[in-house]
Amino acid sequence: QSALTQPASVSGSPGQSITISCTGTSSDVGSYNLVSWYQQHPGKVPKLIIYEGSKRPSGVSNRFSGSKSGNTASLTISGLQAEDEADYYCCSYAGTTTFWVFGGGTKLTVL
């Protein structure tokens, strides 16, 4: 069982927006602004798309955005495209005993 809780699946039509939640605790998501999000296509390596809660690495589309409220972080993808269909994972720093925890992943289906 993963430390961070994500919905198993979400779906949306092209052009729509979707949001994926990532719920942790006051020991991880709630205590640090160090949530990152990763996109993983089948058989591929995870790719960083959001870091420090809401920052985008160079080259990542501005259709991807991140936010946090309390113990829950969120990833929003606007203007859904077929290429966005993938698994998405959140990750948070969790202090000097646990270090890093991941969510169980969310499968995004573009209808």
Q: Which of 52, 69, 95, 109 binds other proteins (CB under 8 A)?
A: 52
36 lies in the binding site for other proteins (CB under 8 A): yes
Give the span between the Cα atoms of 17 and 2, in whole angstroms. Answer: 26
Contact 91, 73 (CB under 8 A): no
Of 12-20, 31-39, 62-70, 71-79, the window that binds other proteins (rule: CB under 8 A) is: 31-39
Nearer to other proteins, 43 or 62 (CB): 43
91 lies in the binding site for other proteins (CB under 8 A): yes
H runs (alpha helix) in 1-111 = 95-98
